[in-house]
Amino acid sequence: MRQTPFRIALLVIAILAISLFHYFTPLHLHHIHDIFQRLYYLPIILAALWFGLRGGVGTALAVSIVYAPHILFQWGGQLTVEMEKYLEILLYNVVGFLTGLLAQRERERRVELQRVAEGLEESYRKLQQQSERIIAVEEQLRRAERLSTLGEMAAVLAHEIRNPLGSIRGTAEILRDDYPAGNPKHEFIEIQIRETERLNRVVEDFLRMARPQQSEKKRCSLREELETIVTLTAGSARGAGIELVLEPIEGELPLMGDGEKIRQAFLNILINALQATSAGGRVVITARRTDGRATISFGDSGAGIPGNVLARMFEPFFTTKADGTGLGLAVTKKIIEAHGGTLEVESAPGQGTTVILTLALLPEGT
């Protein structure tokens, strides 16, 4: 584009220069006139190549106009005598038209080809992205398969562990009667009972996750469930010096679901938030209705979650806690998704964490 003015100037100069020499060449030097007459093809063809049909025809016309006075006034302009010169003018225009047309077609084809090439490149890029995605999904699938066989085995194992665990706990409780408080062995028995309880909880959690039990869906109130979990944890929050706030909720926020499970899911999130927050910090729960869905958020002023943990925190058994099972969020996610809900986590290290859930609601008052 930038060379357009330069090219036009070159064409104008060429035509003017040829004409100047042409007009000032004495008439008896026929052969020199013949040469100049042919030289006009140069700017015409150049213009056709550079500017296509318009360039070719335009330049041929310009040459015709510049050349005509020479024939008319210097040569006398008689049609029969100067026939060859008139034909030359006709030829200028034919050549300008044809070369212009050809050049234009050529250029159009080039543009077309370029477009095709760009399209191909785009398709290639998409294909590459897609195959990368396929590879990633395959990898996930392989991992899921591995996890699911592992999971099945572990579920059997968990089941087998549960019964002896019951016996251990039972006998420990009997022994406790023999070593009442104050006895030096009492403490050991207490530890035994506490640890079996913990183990039992892990196994229960795990089984709950591994076996999708039929859950009973009833009308329940999100507000009630949230109030319940806040009541349940208020004591330990106070003990840890954390301010636990449930912001006022408008309406019941009723939904169709398994209230017990939903409470369990909320509790897992809230316990994580409390565990992540140190004394003097805050955990705030909000819930509101928007377009038939509830949005519930659990915000904490804890340490936040680094990217590598964020990417894995929903994986079963992923934990950063010494005594964690890593099942809390995996179970939670499963419960929320079984209720057609969504779950996302916003967090930045040092800025706390907010877990946001959405769940479909029933109309208020039903």
Which residues are bridge partners to 325 per DSSP? none
In the block, tokens 């636990």 appear at: 244
Count each helix (H run) and each strand (E run) in the chain, helices first. 9, 7
In the block, tokens 């003018």 appear at: 89
* Min separation Cβ 328 and Mg ion, Å: 3
Find the part of the chain contacting ligand ATP (CB under 6 A) among 24-32, 58-66, 238-246, 311-319. Answer: 311-319
Q: Which residues contact 171 (CB under 8 A, 6 or more apart)?
A: none
Q: Which residues contact 60 (CB under 8 A, 6 or more apart)?
A: 44, 92, 93, 95, 96, 97
| Token pair recorded at residue 246 | 């449930």
Find the part of the chain contacting Mg ion (CB under 5 A) among 170-178, 216-224, 297-305, 323-331. Answer: 323-331
Find the part of the chain contacting ligand ATP (CB under 6 A) among 124-132, 157-165, 169-177, 312-320. Answer: 312-320
Size of the site for ligand ATP (CB under 6 A): 21
Neighbouring C-beta atoms of residue 206, cutoff 10 Å = 24
Torsion of CA 112, 117, 122, 127, to 10 degrees: 130
Nearer to Mg ion, 272 or 353 (CB): 272
Find the radius of gyration of the CA atoms of the chain.
44
Q: How far apart are CA 218 and CA 225, in angstroms?
A: 13
Q: How far apart are CA 355 and CA 231, in angstroms?
A: 20
Find the part of the chain contacting Mg ion (CB under 5 A) among 133-141, 254-262, 270-278, 357-365. Answer: 270-278
In the block, tokens 């992923």 appear at: 318
Interaction residues for ligand ATP, span 250-309 (CB under 6 A): 268, 272-273, 276, 300, 302, 305, 309
DSSP-derived 3-state class of residue 323: coil
Nearer to ligand ATP, 48 or 269 (CB): 269
Residue 244 in contact with ligand ATP, rule: CB under 6 A: no
- The correct pick among 55, 299, 328, 341 for binding Mg ion (CB under 5 A) is 328
- The correct pick among 320, 340, 342, 348 for binding ligand ATP (CB under 6 A) is 320
Find the part of the chain contacting ligand ATP (CB under 6 A) among 31-39, 91-99, 241-249, 321-329. Answer: 321-329
Nearer to ligand ATP, 99 or 272 (CB): 272
* Min separation Cβ 291 and Mg ion, Å: 30
Could you list the residues that contact ligand ATP (CB under 6 A)? 268, 272-273, 276, 300, 302, 305, 309, 313, 318-321, 324-330, 353
Could you list the residues that contact Mg ion (CB under 5 A)? 272, 328
